[in-house]
Structure 1
Amino acid sequence: MKNYTVTLPNYSIGPNCYEEIGAVCTRFGKRAAVVGGATALEKAGPALRQGLADAGIEIADWFVYGSDATMAAVERIVTAPEVQAADMLFGVGGGRAIDTVKAAADMLGKPFFSCPTVASNCAPVSAISVIYREDGALDRYYFPKGCPTHCFINTSVILDSPEELFWAGIGDALSKGLETQLASRGKRLSHTPLMGVELGRICEAPLLTYGKAALEDFRAARLTDAFVEVVLDIIISTGIVSNLVTTADDYYYNSSLAHCFYNASMVLPKVHTHLHGEVVSFGNLVLLAADGRDEELERFIAFNRSIRLPITLADIDIVEHADIVRLVERASAMREWTCVPYEMTKEKFTAAILKADAAGRTYLARSSGE
């Protein structure tokens, strides 16, 4: 038995949640550097500036992080003199912006506060940063010493975000229960990962129950219970699970074949036009096909189709067999390739991809005939 530390998310949510900045942040200092995406800083800017001003927190710096979560972008933040002089960092935007600032704050040893402007993944509360290479391919996972100090989920700002990011976020969140259960199957789980895997089971039902209604409410700019339930599921529920099932060294049950499919697909430039959660949602089908769970595969295909998430390879612009060969070759070298309770081979993964695609095409043919 050795010492270990687990950090879990603290968060404020609501249309005026930046009013809570004073109550949460002032004990950490009086100077903040705010870094995020260009559009995110524009959308959240007025309310966030007001929240900081009301809290008596000076803005030491305010700038755009870059355009992707790369180590170069992290280094630009770490070496900025105004950031180094700040007491705390705020990361504003989507997953890649927040992951970038999160990693920089950890390197600097400063408190980090996330302000998601979209609900597309659990980056705002997770203790992991996904870092990409300059060409868009996956580079590495960076593990901060803990999750963000606090997350401010302004639902009014998120309601003003691109609909497709919220839509893709549903697909990404649906992977959490599937992947944690598969990756941990057959393992002797100690307290913390066991708690995470069990909590992962509750990520699915709210999405399947409220997902379609939440999207309709989003389009109508209605701040409803269904919308908030899905936002909390995408950001908080999956983030808590991630923090409980992930360590840098001892165990990693956070991802499996769905994210293996997505990460490997980044070797195909044409897939870069599709969103992370969009591609992961097809990866969910690949996981179910590989695991022989045909009834669940049909259920997930039906749900995906109900909100127009991908159910065939063509939906994500993979139409050549050579593309599948490249994807599978890349997948076989990834960490997630081994996050299954049995040996994974290139032949098995290829068969699972083709099976998921065939099931999706069959569903389309059947639906068009009804």
Structure 2
Amino acid sequence: MARIFNSPSKYVQGPDALAELASYIEPFGSKALAISTASGVKRVGAKIEGGFADSAASVAFEEFNGECCDSEIDRICAVAQAAGSDVIVGVGGGKVLDTAKAVAYKLGVPVVICPTIASSDAPCSALSVIYTEDGVFDRYLFLPSNPNIVLMDTTVIAASPVRLTVSGMGDALATYFEAQASVDSEGDTCAGGKATNAALALAKLCFDTLMADGVKAKVALEAGACTPAVERIIEANTLLSGIGFESCGLAAAHAIHNGMTQLPETHECYHGEKVAFGTLVQLVLENAPTEKLEEVLGFCMEVGLPVTLGELGVEDTSRERIMAVAESACAPSDTMGNMPFTVTPSMVCDAILAADALGRYYHLDIE
């Protein structure tokens, strides 16, 4: 089978990049519909509209209802068709962006993705994660192409809550381990086909960047500063992780995340926070060397990513409840099959409980 490498057509990152959005949209169309939450419009609406003041293109905003689900996608499609929109723009976090990609796909028009946070690796991918209206994972919607443009305004992102960028580090943390597992198993990638060496190298660079710059970036963000470390982490969270996961593959960490949606109390946690814990579970499944476990655990604790079920809000950790998570994570439609060995729900249940115990053990060790 062919080896396939996916990426957005153009990636733009820099201070105040949203002020230049109009100039990037003009080659694609004249009537842009920008999907965003009310708070998103309040944060960046004026900056975006200012860029359209002298543009041949126009922009209208449509408020996102909060969930990337089929009914919301269909609703926004109808709005866009009624307005004659020929470009869809997603402005906000992961669910807004996934909705924008799905809407553009259904309408057959270009899509420009503008994250206002660096909280996940979703922006660059030809993929939307679809949930039910109640926020339970439903399915992956694989799209025929990646976004036409991904635009990262680092001024806006650096001003977002620090926890969101840290969550993005959690999502990015899984990239290399899932990529390597998928390569070792010759698993299918989200891009179709098999992984390229280029994608695996970017996945490794993603992990190395987190280890080198993650703590520095978090401290800088807490001080309200956008430093070179912050810029490197934004790129790692978004571009490196995005290409790494899509063109190499997902494995246990994201399957665990999806299984965790069976526990309603985890819905208050961010995607990347659950993926970070899923990464620890994957390392336990693989019986990773102690040094690697300690490196990942130490990183998580330094930047504030959860390493225990309790930190994810799960107080009832009975085997029965965790087995429900494990069984969901091992569903044939999920990505556990990309592990380079056979994984059973019982193995996953044990790994979740062991990862939780390790997290508690290392917390005690540093107190």
TM-score by length of 2: 0.92
For residues 187-213 of structure 1, what are the alpha-carbon distances to aligned partners after superposition, in whole Å with 9 as ceiling and x for unaligned? 289775343223211110111111111
Aligned-residue sequence identity (percent) comes to 31
2:58 maps to amino acid = E
Match of 1:54 in 2: 54
Q: 1:4 and 1:158, CA in 2 relative to 1: closer, same or farther beyond 3 A?
A: closer
Matching residue within 261, 265, 268 for 1:270: 265
For residues 61-118 of structure 1, what are the alpha-carbon distances to aligned partners after superposition, in whole Å with 9 as ceiling and x for unaligned? 3111210111111111111155661121111000000000111001111111111100
Match of 1:308 in 2: 304
Structure 1: distance between partners of 2:202 and 2:3: 23
Q: Structure 2 matches for 1:97-136, cutoff 5 A? A: 97-136=96-135
Q: Structure 2 matches for 1:163-312, cutoff 5 A? A: 163-187=162-186, 193-245=196-248, 253=249, 255-295=250-290, 296-312=292-308
Q: 1:139 and 1:97, CA in 2 relative to 1: closer, same or farther beyond 3 A?
A: same
Structure 2: distance between partners of 1:4 and 1:332: 26
2:325 maps to amino acid = L
For residues 198-247 of structure 1, what are the alpha-carbon distances to aligned partners after superposition, in whole Å with 9 as ceiling and x for unaligned? 321111011111111111111111111011110011011112223423xx
Q: 1:145 and 1:300, CA in 2 relative to 1: closer, same or farther beyond 3 A?
A: same
Match of 1:21 in 2: 21
| Secondary structure at the counterpart of residue 67 of structure 2 | coil
- Say whether the 8 Å CA contact 1:124–1:151 is kept in structure 2: yes
Q: CA deviation at 1:4?
A: 7.8
Greater mean alpha carbon deviation, residues 160-169 or residues 318-327: 318-327
Q: 1:162 and 1:326, CA in 2 relative to 1: closer, same or farther beyond 3 A?
A: same
- Say whether the 8 Å CA contact 1:181–1:197 is kept in structure 2: yes
| Secondary structure at the counterpart of residue 79 of structure 1 | helix
| Secondary structure at the counterpart of residue 121 of structure 2 | coil
Match of 2:37 in 1: 37
| Secondary structure at the counterpart of residue 74 of structure 1 | helix
Match of 2:64 in 1: 65
- Say whether the 8 Å CA contact 1:218–1:227 is kept in structure 2: yes
Q: Which runs of 5+ in 1 are unaligned?
A: 246-252
| Secondary structure at the counterpart of residue 54 of structure 1 | coil
Match of 1:324 in 2: 322
1:76 maps to amino acid = R
Q: 1:91 and 1:198, CA in 2 relative to 1: closer, same or farther beyond 3 A?
A: same
Q: 1:47 and 1:4, CA in 2 relative to 1: closer, same or farther beyond 3 A?
A: same
- Say whether the 8 Å CA contact 1:147–1:243 is kept in structure 2: no
| Secondary structure at the counterpart of residue 363 of structure 1 | helix
Q: CA deviation at 1:15?
A: 1.7
- Say whether the 8 Å CA contact 1:21–1:55 is kept in structure 2: no
Q: 1:191 and 1:259, CA in 2 relative to 1: closer, same or farther beyond 3 A?
A: closer
Q: 1:206 and 1:144, CA in 2 relative to 1: closer, same or farther beyond 3 A?
A: same
Q: Which runs of 5+ in 2 are unaligned?
A: none
Q: CA deviation at 1:7?
A: 4.5
Greater mean alpha carbon deviation, residues 124-133 or residues 308-317: 308-317
Greater mean alpha carbon deviation, residues 317-326 or residues 208-217: 317-326
Match of 2:95 in 1: 96
Q: 1:228 and 1:72, CA in 2 relative to 1: closer, same or farther beyond 3 A?
A: same
1:92 maps to amino acid = V
| Secondary structure at the counterpart of residue 140 of structure 2 | strand
Structure 2: distance between partners of 1:215 and 1:338: 34
Structure 2: distance between partners of 1:19 and 1:316: 37
Q: 1:317 and 1:124, CA in 2 relative to 1: closer, same or farther beyond 3 A?
A: same
TM-score by length of 1: 0.91
For residues 272-318 of structure 1, what are the alpha-carbon distances to aligned partners after superposition, in whole Å with 9 as ceiling and x for unaligned? 11111111111110000000103211211111111221112211122
Q: 1:2 and 1:271, CA in 2 relative to 1: closer, same or farther beyond 3 A?
A: closer
Q: CA deviation at 1:332?
A: 2.2
Q: CA deviation at 1:353?
A: 1.2
Is residue 85 of structure 1 aligned with residue 84 of structure 2? yes
Greater mean alpha carbon deviation, residues 84-93 or residues 108-117: 84-93
| Secondary structure at the counterpart of residue 139 of structure 1 | strand
- Say whether the 8 Å CA contact 1:126–1:148 is kept in structure 2: yes
